[in-house]
Structure 1
Amino acid sequence: MSDAKHLPDLTGRVALVTGAGGLIGGGIADRFAAAGAAVVAHYRHDEKSARALVTRIGDAGGRALAVQADLTEESQCRRLVETAADWRGGLDALVHSAGIQPVKSLAEMSVEDWREMYEANTTSAFSCTRAAAPLLAARGGGSITHIASIEGTMATPGHAHYCASKAALLMFARSAALEHGAAGIRVNTVSPGLIDRPGLAGDWPDGVRRWSEAAPLGRLGRPEDIGNACVFLASDAASWITGTNLVVDGGVSARPTW
């Protein structure tokens, strides 16, 4: 866990982060732990990364639990959320970061590709939200944050199914905010821009250069940038924020395309 002096205090709260075996999900889980929350770190395939995350949080004095689930199965979404709530007697925040991002042109794309994307990125969000809402309501309310993308509003070649799934996620979250607000549940999305990873500059030097030049803040994002946004949305500082999309992209979306 990195420095927490600028984070809201989430001590005593329990947060479930899906996709915590991945780069962004792991960064989100780290920041929740740094803010004092007990963190349930979901993973589907990458048990090694999830276990390493739990160990890292524990070594820093935090509390974390790794749980495996296939979120394309509704029953497993329900089991995951119930496990998270049972662990420490309740659930206060869900951050749904799990998803996929394969690249394929429309000419190459099959109906199966399309359905796989929606199952992983959108239906999983629906199922996790359905499972979490009554448990959050039992605590008097809570926060649900879905990780969308700036590609939910900006088309990208080879990403038609991904862009469409994230656009659907934006509207799903707004609809859920309307329906769950009376129970004190706030539902928002965070839309990341390009997040750096080890080796990215070597794999895609031209893209990294162009992004850095286009971003007003002059750099790629880091996983903790997304984690910080999610911690804020789960905190009391965001108690009157729901149904909104927080873009975290270094200002790239502000640049005109003409």
Structure 2
Amino acid sequence: MRDPQLPSLEGKVALVTGASGVLGGGIARRFAAAGAAVVLHAHRGADQAQEVADALKAAGGDATVVTADLREEYACRRLVEAAHAWRGRLDTLVNNAGVQPVRELAGMTAKEWREMQEANVTSAFSCTQAAVEVMEPGGSVVQIASIEAHQPAAGHAHYAASKAALVMFARGAALEYGARGIRVNSVSPGLIGRPGLAEDWPEGVERWGRAAPLARLGRPEDVGAACVFLASEAAGWITGADLVVDGGVSARPTW
């Protein structure tokens, strides 16, 4: 199970929110491959998260699933409490849970705007606040943002704003929690592949392949490895940083 190419997280416990999805499941797998015990959070996708947890345990890892609706502050706190109680510690929180609906700004309602911020930003705020209270010095929080925090796409104004907020939230939290020995960073992924994406959005996948210097879509494991690094002792003097994981597409000139 242990991947020697990854920094060791043996003896550590990681909580990954939104672990029922493709990206969250991939992040959870990388933490398990680094030797961490993993708490997989799910809301509506508990069965999918349990499949990942079962696969990790079958491979010799240690994993469990906790369900919670992170739109509720008390549920965020309950999730963190359950994660901490499972093995008596919590070393890393990865705030991956979120939504990404496409909606033109001209027709967007204030309700839709608020729902995006609640799902993507407020949930991360509540989980971070709760997690830091139970972490020992050396703990790590990683916010999953997006390259859209830096360069938005049409129909994603509310999403891009939420991801930009996560990048700055990570910096602000790093500033305030550093005295406790807790590091807070963000990871900004580019386009991550999933089954059926090329069929659902062929023109977008083709454009990405042309634009990315590494000429491929990202994989969930690419983002997971970045999170493992930021959670490890190898990143012990890194906090308040945003690690872009996009195959180099952000380096492409836009003029």
- Considering the TM-score relative to the shorter chain, is it more than 0.5? yes
Distance 2:138 2:73 in 1: 23
Q: Distance in 2 between matches of 1:167 and 1:227?
A: 20
Q: Could you tell me the TM-score, scaled by structure 2's length?
A: 0.99
2:217 aligned partner:
220
The whole-number CA distance in structure 2 between the counterparts of 1:109 and 1:65 is 38
Tell me, yes or no, if structure 1 residue 4 matches structure 2 residue 33: no
Distance in structure 2 (CA, Å) of the matches to 1:219 and 1:4:
23
Look up the match of 2:54: 55
RMSD: 0.8
Q: Secondary structure at the match of 1:4?
A: coil
Q: Aligned residue for 1:196?
A: 193
Give the counterpart of 2:232 among 223, 231, 235: 235
Percent identity, aligned pairs only, is 66
Question: Residue 208 of structure 2 is aligned with which of 193, 208, 211?
Answer: 211
Counterpart of 1:87 in structure 2 is 86
Residues 154-194 of structure 1 show CA distances to partners (whole Å, capped at 9, x for unaligned) of: 02110000000111111111000000001110000000000
Q: How many residues align?
A: 255
From 163, 174, 177, the counterpart of 1:177:
174
Specify the SS of the correspondent of 1:140: coil
Q: 2:185 aligns to what SS in structure 1?
A: strand
Instruction: Classify the secondary structure of the residue corresponding to 1:107.
Output: helix
Question: Residue type of the partner of 2:100?
Answer: Q
Alignment partner, residue 65 of structure 2: 66
Unpaired segments ≥5 residues, structure 1: none
Q: Which runs of 5+ in 2 are unaligned?
A: none
- What is residue 109 of structure 1 aligned with on the other side? 108
**Structure 1 moving runs of 4+ over 2 Å:** none
